[in-house]
Structure 1
């Protein structure tokens, strides 16, 4: 059961990382980055959430 949850978290993390990457490279994020020096909050949250979910997923898959 833990392996299934780990795999689901890994997949969800990969999807969130993809959305974060596309949001980071979006026009709105580039304009915001030019004005404030930082990308949009959505891009940051997607990237952080995706990384955390992927790390937890890999940890659950490797745990015996």
Structure 2
């Protein structure tokens, strides 16, 4: 079984952790931005079928 020979430095560990956190942050930001544009109806890249409630009420 492969075992690392030397201990990973604290700074290298922090750098890797921050890269991982930044990826998650930007993915969440993108998802939130898409959700905002969908809720306001300003989305140009994502299409949502609108339910037609007015015809079913009549």
User: What's the TM-score, normalizing by structure 2?
Assistant: 0.48
User: Highest CA radius of gyration, 1 or 2?
Assistant: 2
Larger RCO, structures 1/2 (Cα 8 Å, 6+ apart): 1
Higher helix share: 1
